[in-house]
Structure 1
Amino acid sequence: MMSTPLIPATAEAVDLNSSLLHLAGSPCRHFSRAEGQAVRVSVYGSWEQLKKQVLSWEAILANNRALSIFSTPEWLGSWWKAFGANKQVLGLGFSTEDNSLVGLALFYFDEVKNPLFGKLAFLRLVGDGSGDSDNLDLIIQSGFEKACAQALVRWLGNQRDWDVCFLNTLPEHSLAATALKHDLERARWTCVLERSPNSAISLPASWPQYVDSVSPRFRPLVTRYPQRLVQRYQVRIYRCEHLDDLSRSLRILFSLHAKRWNSVNQPGSFGSSERRKFYFEMAKCFLNKGWLELWLLELNGVPAAAQYCFRYSDTVCVLQEGFDPGFASDKAGYALRAAALRHFIETGVKKYDFLGGLDPHKQNWGAKPGSYLNLQFARPGSLGSLYLRYTNAMTRSKEWLRGNLPAPAWNILHWIKLHLAEAESSSV
């Protein structure tokens, strides 16, 4: 274990000589002071090391109720087990002088090759990059956001093994993100902040109140169609509650999801063996915690719809779903969601979170728009800084062209881009 003395926030940067090549060994520790609080930075180079911090990790989650299920050891550990092969984790722990863990920043290295900038080392949050996680955040005890953000910027500023850091799908009102952005700007780092949409339903206290809140045109899909199912079929709606039933329930979900998307000539999400493994590992953890809300609907004994949700505190998130197109006219998927929503309302859930995107069908159910923050940053004067400035300029130019060019001219440019990409890929 290596350490340096406590240093004030205004001190000059210290060369910590901590090449990340040694990360697989014991955690190395460095010290920094931020906002009058001494904060020690510990480096964890394997998930096994991070697992030893789970009790302290869970204490931070219990203290900071703004953190979501996507910051739990169950979610992130399952993700790493499924997607972490051939990846190098970089876990940073923030501790006070009495050795209390008050923050975690969990990254991994993602090496990419860019035709203009060559090989770049990106830092991403664990959970990001596969399209499965939302609401990721720095895992910090309430009141320590500023101290940990300042320590993080100082520590990263002394490393040369990374080029750009991506913090995607941060909560819009994340105190850690606010503190970090402030320190990045104060240190004059290159920083890009973007937003991406999400949506959720704020659930009322009773089912009748919810039914009254949806539009009259949509209301029959919530009330009349489920009643009609009972008249036409022997209906069974149930939740997976036992480990012995989990494998079968997940296979039904995977199959119905594939059927739904194959009907519109799309592959769906579960062609990936890593994602199937992730769902199984995560579902086992969530079932043991009482968080899993995997609901299924059968018509005359035939699986017709499935919905994969999970509950954390007073929020339910819906992650995936599927239905048999053969029952499309019966609106089986609508009936299952209505039954699940009614159960959630009656058991005290306050928020039904659709996560990313703001599709019309989500709005039909009463979802209101929100947004995630996507924060990207790099050290000033670095290759990563040049990369961020270039890509941001290209994005802004594209947005200007899209908004100012006539539609035919924009379509021609898009056609040229696609054909150039095809020509480049065929020449490889």
Structure 2
Amino acid sequence: MKSQIISRWSDFDQLKEGWDALLKNSWADTVFLTWDWIQAWREAVREAVESFVVVVRDDKGDLVGLAPFYMAELRLLNLVSFRTLRVMADYATGAEYPDWIVSRHVEKEAVQAIVSALLKVNGRWDTIWMPHMTGWTGNIENISSACQAGGLPHRYRATRFGYFDLPETMAQFEAHFFGERLQELRDERSALLCREDVEIIRCTNKADLPGFLDALFELHDRRWSLAGGAGRKPYEAEFYRLFVQRVFDEGLLRLAAISDGGKIEAIQIGTIYNNHYLLLQEALNSDAVPGVGEVLRTLVIEDCINAGVKGYDFLMGADEEKRRWGAEERSGYDLFIGSPNLKTRLLFSKEIWPTGRFLTQSNQN
């Protein structure tokens, strides 16, 4: 196998033809690694990041492996800098499940080729940070094994996701909600939809996308403002404006809301990928009529069931609220890899993670 590092966006563009085909033939197959998702992110950040993509081809020249990194920075105690590789579009997009994209037919060999390529240029990077990986594809084990063989210090820790299968009918779904819970949902829906000015709206016209997104961002900003938070990440709004335009024509976008008196009070945006619904963003007016968020989720689930969608993915987190909807916990991992240099080995001698107070992300886009 032959590998190369792509650091120029003009060379990256040449990968478009085989990108999604390789993704479909890999265990990493998720909307967050598709060409459309990554290109929308790239356009949003206006190429303000440096590409660092490891490309692996077999002896016939066919694409069999991709590690779609970009260059970022971590700082230890805000003093020591670590050049850090992260998976493209993992920030300011709501993306989960970062991974290396390798053909199922040669997955171990392709992963080993990626590690070998990284070792050859270990002077150009210090760490690799991949939070929220899947735990059910086997890729974490392959990467860990290749790192071990290549002498790369690394560690991983468990994280959780929430997901549930969708049944064939709404009646079967409701059967999961016994007693008071089921009656509560029905009462909330009946009371809300009986209100004269309440309307369920679904985005079926591409020209309406900007208005839906404006409402989503407004509700998000209001929530963060009330909570005293920093608000929306840089580039996030621009990313979603670009992404929804890309996938709308394919019929994969799900954008629904409930309005009261002409004003959107709850909104949810998701996408269908591999016949599963992935919840990307949702927002709720904290002053809205009680139950509006739960009614909207019920309607989205019903739409998915009627369309034959097989599952509903909450993505990151498996808290009590998600379990109330029937979500089951799926395990995942945060993966942290180091280059075999002295500075990084010293870092890995301690249990330090990029999510702690000692090691922080710098100049994040």
Please give the TM-score of this superposition, normalised by the length of structure 1.
0.77
1:390 matched residue in structure 2: 350
**Paired letter, 1:374:** D
| Cα offset, 1:362, TM superposition | 1.2
Q: Residue 190 and residue 84 in structure 1: after superposition, are their counterparts in 2 closer, same or farther (change >3 A)?
A: farther
Moved more, 54-63 or 338-347: 54-63
Secondary structure of the 2:289 match is helix
Task: Report the counterpart of residue 184 of structure 1 in structure 2.
Answer: 147
Once the two structures are superposed, residues 83-108 of structure 1 have per-residue CA deviations (whole angstroms, 9 ceiling, x without a partner) of 36432110111111111111211111
Find 1:172's aligned residue among 128, 135, 145.
Answer: 135
Correspondences of 1:227-306 after superposition (within 5 Å): 227-263=190-226, 265-267=227-229, 269-270=231-232, 272-306=233-267
User: Do the aligned residues in 2 keep the contact of 1:125 with 1:168 (CA within 8 Å)?
Assistant: no
When residues 201 and 222 of structure 1 are mapped into structure 2, their CA distance, relative to the original with a 3 A threshold, is farther
Question: Per the alignment, do residues 211 and 151 of structure 1 end up closer, same or farther by CA in structure 2, a change over 3 Å counting?
Answer: same
SS in 1 for 2:349: helix
Paired with 1:323 and 1:336, the residues of 2 have a C-alpha distance of: 10
Q: Please tell me whether the aligned partners of residues 90 and 108 of structure 1 are also in contact (alpha carbons under 8 angstroms).
A: yes
> Which residue pairs with 1:69 in the alignment?
31
Partner of 2:254, secondary structure, is: strand
Decide which of 82, 104, 114 is 2:44's aligned counterpart: 82
Query: Are the structure 2 counterparts of residues 254 and 394 from structure 1 closer, same or farther at C-alpha, using a change threshold of 3 Å?
Result: closer
Q: Does the 8 Å CA contact 2:128/2:336 hold for their aligned counterparts?
A: yes
Tell me which residue corresponds to 1:208.
171
Contact 2:84 2:127 in 1 (8 A): yes
Question: Aligned partners of 1:226, 1:86: CA distance in 2, in Å?
Answer: 46
* Distance in 1 between residues matched to 2:30 and 2:249, nearest whole Å: 18
Greater RCO (CA < 8 Å, at least 6 residues apart): 2
Moved more, 99-108 or 84-93: 84-93
Give the match for residue 362 of structure 2: none
2:301 maps to 1:346: no
1:268 and 1:210, CA in 2 relative to 1: closer, same or farther beyond 3 A?
Answer: farther
Q: How big is the alpha-carbon RMSD for the aligned residues of Structure 1 and Structure 2?
A: 2.5
CA drift at 1:332: 1.2
Larger radius of gyration: 1
TM-fit CA distance, 1:318: 0.8
Q: CA deviation digits over 1:293-347, x for unaligned, max 9? A: 1111123433221101111122111121112233232x11111111110010111
Matches within 5 A, 1:4-403: 39-64=1-26, 67-83=29-45, 85-115=47-77, 118-130=80-92, 132-159=94-121, 160-263=123-226, 265-267=227-229, 269-270=231-232, 272-329=233-290, 331-392=291-352
Change (3 A) 1:50 1:364: same
Change (3 A) 1:266 1:362: farther
Unpaired segments of 5 or more residues in structure 2? Answer: 359-365
Q: Distance in 1 between matches of 2:350 and 2:194?
A: 61
1:251 Cα deviation (Å)?
A: 0.4
Gaps of 5+ in 1: 1-38, 399-416, 419-428
Q: Is the 8 A contact 1:60 1:102 kept in 2?
A: yes
Please state whether the residue corresponding to 2:204 is helix, strand or coil: coil
TM-superposed CA distance for 1:393, in Å, is: 9.6
Amino acid at match of 1:81: E
Contact 2:125 2:339 in 1 (8 A): no
Shift of 1:63: 2.5
Q: Distance in 2 between matches of 1:229 and 1:390?
A: 54
Give 1:66 shift. 5.1
Q: 1:291 to 1:344 in 2, by over 3 A?
A: same
Percent identity over the alignment is 24
8 Å contact from structure 1 (residues 207, 342) kept in 2: yes
Give 1:388 shift. Answer: 2.0
Q: Distance in 2 between matches of 1:50 and 1:141?
A: 19
- Structure 1 residues 300 and 381, CA, compared in 2 at 3 Å: closer, same or farther? closer
Residue 381 of structure 1 deviates from its aligned partner by 4.9
3-state SS of 2:180 partner: coil
Asked whether the 8 Å contact 2:27–2:139 carries over to 1, the reply is no
State whether residues 221 and 335 of structure 1, in contact with CA within 8 Å, keep that contact through their aligned partners in structure 2: no
Between stretches 106-115 and 86-95, larger displacement belongs to: 106-115
TM-aligned CA deviation for residue 366 of structure 1: 1.0
Is the 8 Å Cα contact of residues 238 and 296 (structure 1) preserved in structure 2? yes
The answer (yes or no) to whether the contact 1:164–1:385 under 8 Å persists in 2 is no
Contact 1:258–1:322 (8 Å) recurs in 2 = no
Decide whether aligned partners of structure 1 residues 113 and 106 sit closer, same or farther in structure 2, where only a CA change above 3 A counts: same
Contact preservation (8 Å) 1:166, 1:376: yes
